[in-house]
Amino acid sequence: MDDLKAHEVIRRAEDLIETGDCQAAYDLLLPLLAEGRSEAMFLYAQFSISRLETDDEFELRSFKLLQQASERGYAPATYALGVCFEMGDLVEQDIIRASGLYKSASDSGYPKAKLIHGLNLFYGSLGVPKDEAQGLALVKQAIAEGVEGAAEALDLIKAAGQGGT
111-123 helix and 95-107 helix, angle to the nearest 10 degrees: 130
pLDDT at 163: 61
26, 49 Cβ separation under 8 angstroms: yes
- Contact 110/78 with Cβ under 8 angstroms? yes
Mind listing the pLDDT tens digit for each residue in 52-104?
899 999 999 999 999 999 999 999 999 999 999 999 998 999 999 999 999 99
What's the chain's length in residues?
165
Please report the pLDDT score of residue 35 as a whole number: 96
46 phi/psi in degrees, rounded to 5: -95, -5
Contact status, residue 124 vs residue 99, Cβ threshold 8 Å: no
- pLDDT digits 0-9 by tens, 33-43: 999 999 999 99
- pTM listed for this prediction: 0.90
